[in-house]
């Protein structure tokens, strides 16, 4: 016999059908943002070593990074790409917080968050934030903060310029484009900060953000977590 919960679920689903953010299939009552098979088949990276891996290596010789991890691969032509497009461009801030919790569930038992004092999301320029209505990296950070209990600092860093899209830029051009891009607004001296972003490509944006923090607080420790790595 159908329970009251089932009945409400059917009614809500009739009014606003819930679909998988990757394949678009209808979700059943137990599935949240992705259907079971898409959740199973996401291109997870399964980072073994938080100190030496392809994400961490992108920062070597640029900024001192303690631990670094990216959660999944970013394949432009794969179906999983829909997830990142939805998070960024289809007004799905709810996906960010959910993915943040998913990352925390995977990484918490493995000690990734040990000793981390605070979480800082790579900020958007206020104009872009206003246009989009949210910052997808902050939504990820919000989910991480909720699941780990580590506080999220919302105003620690600001993006000083609305920089050009970096999609077609070389690494050198990205480095140039990100110089003085961020400003730290508070001292994080002596703290271990987790910097969070959606996609890691060359590491130029995250390095610039970390550098802004280091300029104000030279003895800060920095770890990095991104949802995806290109």
35 or 213, CB closer to Zn ion? 35
20 or 84, CB closer to Zn ion? 20
For the CB of residue 22, give the shortest distance to Zn ion in the complex, in Å. 5
Give the whole-angstrom CA distance, residue 51 versus residue 68. 6
86 or 217, CB closer to Zn ion? 86
22 or 210, CB closer to Zn ion? 22
For the CB of residue 94, give the shortest distance to Zn ion in the complex, in Å. 16
Are 157 and 213 spatial neighbours (Cβ–Cβ below 8 Å)? yes
For the CB of residue 1, give the shortest distance to Zn ion in the complex, in Å. 29
Q: Which helix (H) or strand (E) holds 229?
A: strand 221-229
| Interaction site with Zn ion (CB under 5 A) | 20, 22-23, 25, 35, 38
Give the whole-angstrom CA distance, residue 156 versus residue 97. 20
Q: Which of 140, 136, 230 is nearest to 194 (CA)?
A: 140
Are 128 and 168 spatial neighbours (Cβ–Cβ below 8 Å)? no
Are 88 and 198 spatial neighbours (Cβ–Cβ below 8 Å)? yes
For the CB of residue 130, give the shortest distance to Zn ion in the complex, in Å. 32
């Amino acid at each position: 016999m159908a329970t009251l919960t089932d009945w409400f679920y059917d009614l809500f689903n009739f009014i606003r059908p819930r679909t998988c953010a990757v394949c678009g299939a209808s979700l059943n009552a137990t599935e949240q943002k992705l259907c079971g098979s898409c959740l199973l088949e996401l291109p997870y990276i399964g980072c073994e070593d938080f100190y030496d891996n392809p994400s961490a290596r992108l920062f070597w010789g640029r900024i001192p990074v303690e631990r670094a991890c990216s959660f999944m691969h970013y394949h432009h032509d794969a179906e999983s790409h829909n997830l990142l497009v939805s998070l960024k461009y289809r007004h799905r801030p709810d996906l960010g917080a959910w993915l943040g919790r998913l990352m925390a569930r995977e990484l918490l038992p493995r000690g990734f968050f040990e000793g981390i004092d605070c979480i800082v999301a790579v900020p958007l320029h206020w104009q872009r934030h206003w246009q989009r209505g949210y910052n997808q990296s902050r939504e990820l950070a919000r989910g991480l903060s909720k699941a780990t209990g580590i506080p999220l600092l919302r105003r620690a860093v600001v993006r000083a310029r609305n920089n050009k899209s970096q999609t077609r830029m070389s690494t050198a051009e990205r480095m140039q484009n990100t110089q003085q891009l961020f400003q730290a607004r508070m001292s994080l001296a002596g703290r271990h900060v987790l910097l969070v972003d959606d996609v890691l490509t060359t590491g130029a944006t995250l390095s610039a953000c970390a550098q802004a923090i280091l300029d104000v607080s030279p003895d800060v420790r920095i770890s990095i977590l991104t949802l995806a790595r290109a």
